[in-house]
Structure 1
Amino acid sequence: MTQTTHHESLAEDISAFFDVSLDLLVIRDIDGRVLKASRSWFTKLGHRPEDMEGGPLLRLVHPDDMPDTQKSVLEVQNRRDDDPVMGFTNRYRHVEGHYLTLEWRAQRLGDRIYGVARDVTERVAADRALVEAKAAAEAANRAKTDFLANISHEIRTPLNGVIGVVDALARTPLSPDQAEMIGLIRDSGATLERLVSDFLDVAKIEAGQLELERRPFDLDQTLRACIEIMRRRAVEKGLTLRVEGLDAAARETGGRYQGDGTRISQVIGNLLSNAIKFTAAGAVTLRVRTEPIGDETAITFEIEDTGIGFDADHAAGLFSRFHQADASISRRFGGTGLGLSICRSLVEMMGGEISAASTPGVGSRFTVSLRLPPAPLEPADEPRDILAAPIDSDSAPLRVLLVEDHPTNQRVAQLILATQGAEVVTVNDGLEAIDAFRAATFDVVLMDMQMPRMDGLAATRALRALEARSGAARTPIIMLSANALTGHREQTLEAGADLHVAKPITAANLLAGIQAAVG
């Protein structure tokens, strides 16, 4: 075959290749003029190859894409042999006037540029739609979180009134019938508060806003309160609540760990509550085992009951949200079906595992396994008993500035503080708090977080600024907040508050907070 024949054959092959290619092929010279274009330019963009040849290719580029396209042209022309082939995306005009998005690959050989482009208009549109959908979903999620924070405040504010007033009323002389009615109201209020907390926990978990603490805690003390509450509930049903291994665990490992003791107590309390709920007769047993493993301690909790149990079909969805075994279970026992889902999320966030086994009609066993680093007992770290007791007042009564806009919440705090003989000055918002703070001296400030005109965070910062300017001693500030989402506690501390006490307010948590702040 002669040299001429070889070149003719190669040219024919290239022409045939250009005719059948679905991609957009083009050969141009160094000045940008089209030397050859594939038939697909007509198929995709309506431009005939013979009309394109001899003219500039860039005349078809969208004006907004021209600056970046020029940069890409220079990159191709100056590319060295060992440089990677860079991709580029821009828009080319269809013969009817609209634009398609093309993704390019190009390479220089001698004084010619060989390029291939693919129509990615639908892919780019789909990617853009996905980004927009993600942004919309994130915005909706933020809106949902904000809504839950607000609705939490709205629910907890009247709930604070119910629980607080009932708690204060329970401390007055009552007949047996009245005491029984007060007890029923208090238990119902506590149940409602737990339901609100469950919904908020789920919202925080979904939004990725639930954060675990990592600080020293005593396992025995952490669990003791919830165990005693569950023991009383078990006795009311005629059940026995046994606790095995907790004291031995404390002796073997010192009983102190680094982690979120509050959330561990929530998990164990929830599992004990479920066990008692679904057990009509017999016993509920909590077993605790510990085993040192390297620098950590493996802690295993087993909650076993003699209740109704569940079968394998129901076990599969046991830790799913809103799961109930069946409609009859929901009617007989109530509940939202969120408790076990929250337990699973919390345990997994701690790096642990939770599992369940059961025999219908015989009972169930839930197992929680955690690994936590031990925390040495240090003098500054020893826990203080700040549960509600009469506030020490050696001489003058405690002077309290109460900053709260809701009349019922004002009255709740006043009733609780009246039992301690405190002198209470009540104002309705942050601006009034600043005036009162200028005019008098207080032992402690109880500051609501959400108020009109000036909220609790702004007011706290203003009070701290007043102290700094006048050189006055620091007055303890306790933030009282119905807001329960992650970050509120941190916000209060950053603003200058000393403690954050979540509503609903009871005598126990309010007086304990005051004791902790005033010392």
Structure 2
Amino acid sequence: MDISDGAATGPLASYDKRYGSLELLLRYARGRVRMFWGRQLYMALAFLVLGLIVPFQYALLAYAVTCAGDAADCLLLHRAGYLASRGMSERALRLLTALTALLHALALSAAASLPFWVEFQSLQPQVHAEPLFTVGLLLGSAINAGLVLPYHPQAVVAKLVTYAAMPLAFLAFEILQSPELAASYQLHLAGLLVFYTSYLWFLGFVRRNFSRTRSNMLAQAQQQQELEAAYAELSDQQMEAKRLALVAENANDSVMLMDRQGRITWVNDSFTRLTGYSFGEALGQLPGDLLNSGRTDAATIRLLQNSVREARPVRVEICNRRKDGRHIWIETSQVPMLNSAGELETLIAVERDISAAKEHARQLEQARIAAEEGARAKADFLATMSHEIRTPMNGVIGMAQLLRDSGLNEEQELYAGAILSSADTLLALINDVLDVSKMDAEGVSLSCTDFDPRACFEDTMRLLKAQAEAKGLDLLLDIKERVPAQLHGDDRRIRQILLNLAGNAIKFTEHGQVQVTLDAEPAGQGTGLVFSVTDTGIGIPREMLSKVFERFSQADAAISRRFGGTGLGLAISRRLAEAMGGSISVTSDLGLGSCFTVRLHLDPPRAEPAVAPAATPQAGSSAALEGLRVLVAEDNAVNRVLMEKFLLPTPAEVAFAQNGREAVAQFEAFAPDIILMDMSMPEMDGLDATRAIRALARPQPAIVALTANAFDSDREACLAAGMDEFMSKPVNRGKLLDLLAHLAPQAQSRRAG
């Protein structure tokens, strides 16, 4: 039976409260307790009459027994409501009260059987006592119990079985005492059978009558509930209709009602304000004839017409024409109202002026396009600046390296070292500024792969060892045993963070040590890589700890003048850590040193650890470059001279091209093993030249992008064009020779095969 929430206090709730199973039990208990004294008065009169026949003390004892049994039963029934409220289950309560009812029935049966057991020798010495008093008293109690059978069947059945057993027990006792009189008791047995059958019919009548009464009450409750629900629904509909009428009349949006043919039957005042047409001018008109501007596309017009014909809701944007000829953009929502047969009765159209929103959207689109063009312009500017700055820096650093290695005296070596140091500082500044700008323009891009975190940290610390030894510092690396052998992540970005933090620690530490600790911890489905960089340097004031990760921020302006730097390294490190799902924090005491802690979330390795590659030739090995043909495609004259000076001492054969077109021609004429290809060159850039070379059906060389464009997007573009490696300017001679030695065997075997 589905009962709504409102039925909690309705007729059905009242019915359930009155005829529920537990409520019937409690009604039985209340009735028994309420009639207790009436029953006692009746029993007192019955046993008083009995006391006139039998010894009075026997009658008084019998009355006391039945009174005690009834009192025990009523005492529990009086507590039934309390026990139910305290959590006793209905089943347990029914069983317990059935037991007390059985106790009461046994007590009453024992008391009622008093005449049967008392001999009347003085009155009738030769006659057995008849059980009429017992049967009459038990019959009255049985009738009284049968009337409440539907309320507590278990208790009533317990009483009736006890009452029914008593006469049978009398007869059985008499037959056992006087077997010769057994035939005379057959009539008694037949009478009991008739009585029991009649009583069962009586019980059935009571149950059927109670069931009919309860069914009638349920039907009445349901009907009343339905009537109340229908009345409430009707009241709600009337109230809703009034509200809708008030809303429609006073709404800021235009509201229009149309008939089955789509003709206007009613409009509100907002329709007049929106379109300029009065109620009388709009009445009976088709909205399309009245308002169509001719600027709405045909598909939208057909959609509106179909919504009327098919009686289905629709929501579209259309361009209407006002009465004064001005065009306005309208958002219209048309909803059909159907009659009981499912046919269209009325079509409701709610329209809103969205001309301002359309104009705003147009302006936003223009702003988006302008922002995208600005972002592209910024990216192009950064790429240009990277190229234009790194190109001369390549010449400065390269020539300074050649100058330093040209056999200078001590003073000249000092000058050359100063040039290289200043150039390295300037290059670091350029890299930081371009990194921050690139992150703002493109976001942080990650290139994840399986890597060995132990080797990653050991290699990075090896790069910093010379810098630490130059200052007399101990550079320590502590790798915990639980660090896994393989993880999946961007090891290049992790190296960048470590270089920034450890480089800063070395720079700001005058004496003592810099210690890097690498550890791992569980982190959901992956691994948390945790590493800290601790130094014994100058420390950071507590009030500046929250600012050290901001751009161009340092603990003191004097620090920048004393130690140099832009304050961008920590800002870049934080962006990189957050991009890898981690964080970076710092603790420090002024004058005692600092500790930077990085937590990164990395995935488990995606593939089995790769077999270690075969050992490559040592850097600068002459045997590795023997007979190697190298083509350098470079448009900058200084850089061509620099590359010539770098490669001249090696046994490699070198050729040059000043642009991409010459590089393609030299490839066909010179047949190089390796091409060092600049990206930005006149006539044909390095990417187009690479594609042209890869398209030729000839043995292919290894092509290395040797460019001042150092963005990740530039690296991806080079690899996509068919290049094998990427090296950004300024070029370090040792790294260049290492790369050539690494590529030489593969390039030469490719040309030979």
TM-score w.r.t. the length of structure 1 is 0.87
CA 1:386–1:165: 2 relative to 1, 3 Å: farther
Cross-structure match for 2:318? 90
Matched residue SS, 1:364: strand
92-101 vs 456-465, greater mean Cα deviation: 92-101
1:300 aligns with 2:530: yes
Deviation at 1:511, TM superposition (A): 0.9
Q: Which has the higher contact order (CA 8 A, sep 6+)?
A: 1
Deviation at 1:199, TM superposition (A): 2.4
Cross-structure match for 2:356? 122
Cross-structure match for 1:496? 722
Cα distance in 1, alignment partners of residues 314 and 540 from structure 2: 60
CA 1:89–1:358: 2 relative to 1, 3 Å: same
Match of 2:705 among 476, 479, 496: 479
Where does structure 2 lack aligned partners over 5 or more consecutive residues? 1-238, 338-343, 746-753
- The amino acid across from 1:31 in the alignment is Q
CA 1:51–1:17: 2 relative to 1, 3 Å: farther
- The amino acid across from 1:335 in the alignment is G
Cross-structure match for 1:4? none
Match of 1:284 among 506, 514, 528: 514
CA deviation digits over 1:193-218, x for unaligned, max 9?
A: 22222223223322335432223434
CA deviation digits over 1:110-152, x for unaligned, max 9?
A: 3431111122322333333233322321221121111101110
CA deviation digits over 1:252-298, x for unaligned, max 9?
A: 55644333222211101100122233334433221222357787543
CA deviation digits over 1:402-432, x for unaligned, max 9?
A: 1111101101110010121332211211211
1:242 aligns with 2:475: yes
Contact 1:93 1:99 in 2 (8 A): yes
Deviation at 1:304, TM superposition (A): 1.3
Cross-structure match for 1:205? 439
Cross-structure match for 2:154? none
Cross-structure match for 1:161? 395
Cross-structure match for 2:646? 416
Match of 1:388 among 598, 619, 628: 619
Match of 2:686 among 456, 459, 468: 456
Cross-structure match for 2:567? 337
- The amino acid across from 2:478 in the alignment is G
Deviation at 1:159, TM superposition (A): 0.7
Cross-structure match for 1:5? none
Match of 1:183 among 417, 434, 456: 417
- Answer 1 or 2: which has greater helix percent: 2
- The amino acid across from 1:154 in the alignment is E
CA 1:241–1:133: 2 relative to 1, 3 Å: farther
Match of 1:141 among 357, 362, 375: 375
Cα distance in 2, alignment partners of residues 487 and 504 from structure 1: 18
Cα distance in 1, alignment partners of residues 294 and 447 from structure 2: 55
Cα distance in 2, alignment partners of residues 206 and 391 from structure 1: 44
Cross-structure match for 2:502? 272
Contact 1:290 1:300 in 2 (8 A): yes
Contact 2:453 2:484 in 1 (8 A): no
Q: Taking every aligned residue pair, what percent have the same amino acid on both sides?
A: 36
Cα distance in 2, alignment partners of residues 497 and 330 from structure 1: 41
- The amino acid across from 1:445 in the alignment is I
Cα distance in 2, alignment partners of residues 257 and 154 from structure 1: 38
Matched residue SS, 1:316: helix
CA deviation digits over 1:439-458, x for unaligned, max 9?
A: 23323222111111111121
Cross-structure match for 1:76? 307
1:42 aligns with 2:272: yes
Deviation at 1:66, TM superposition (A): 4.9
CA 1:340–1:444: 2 relative to 1, 3 Å: same
Deviation at 1:156, TM superposition (A): 0.7
1:32 aligns with 2:277: no
- The amino acid across from 1:411 in the alignment is V
1:63 aligns with 2:63: no
Matched residue SS, 1:504: coil
Cross-structure match for 1:378? 610
* CA RMSD of superposed structures (Å): 2.9
1:22 aligns with 2:252: yes
Contact 2:588 2:595 in 1 (8 A): yes
CA 1:17–1:502: 2 relative to 1, 3 Å: closer
Cα distance in 2, alignment partners of residues 434 and 367 from structure 1: 51
21-30 vs 256-265, greater mean Cα deviation: 256-265
Matched residue SS, 1:204: helix
Matched residue SS, 1:182: helix
CA deviation digits over 1:50-98, x for unaligned, max 9?
A: 2222222223133121524423323422556xx6x44222222233332
Contact 1:477 1:517 in 2 (8 A): no
Cross-structure match for 2:464? 230
Contact 2:444 2:576 in 1 (8 A): no
Contact 2:624 2:744 in 1 (8 A): no
Match of 2:332 among 104, 110, 113: 104
Cross-structure match for 2:123? none
Contact 2:256 2:271 in 1 (8 A): no
Cα distance in 1, alignment partners of residues 244 and 386 from structure 2: 71
Cα distance in 1, alignment partners of residues 370 and 496 from structure 2: 34
Matched residue SS, 1:159: helix
- The amino acid across from 2:537 in the alignment is G
Matched residue SS, 2:547: coil
Cα distance in 2, alignment partners of residues 10 and 223 from structure 1: 73
Cross-structure match for 1:505? 731
Contact 1:299 1:371 in 2 (8 A): yes
Deviation at 1:474, TM superposition (A): 2.6
Deviation at 1:178, TM superposition (A): 1.6
Cα distance in 2, alignment partners of residues 347 and 302 from structure 1: 13
Matched residue SS, 1:392: helix
Contact 1:210 1:486 in 2 (8 A): no
CA 1:253–1:128: 2 relative to 1, 3 Å: same
Where does structure 1 lack aligned partners over 5 or more consecutive residues? 1-8
- Answer 1 or 2: which has greater strand percent: 1
Cross-structure match for 1:3? none
Contact 1:387 1:511 in 2 (8 A): no
CA 1:53–1:504: 2 relative to 1, 3 Å: same
CA 1:488–1:125: 2 relative to 1, 3 Å: same
Cα distance in 2, alignment partners of residues 115 and 312 from structure 1: 66
Match runs of 1:508-519 below 5 Å: 508-519=734-745
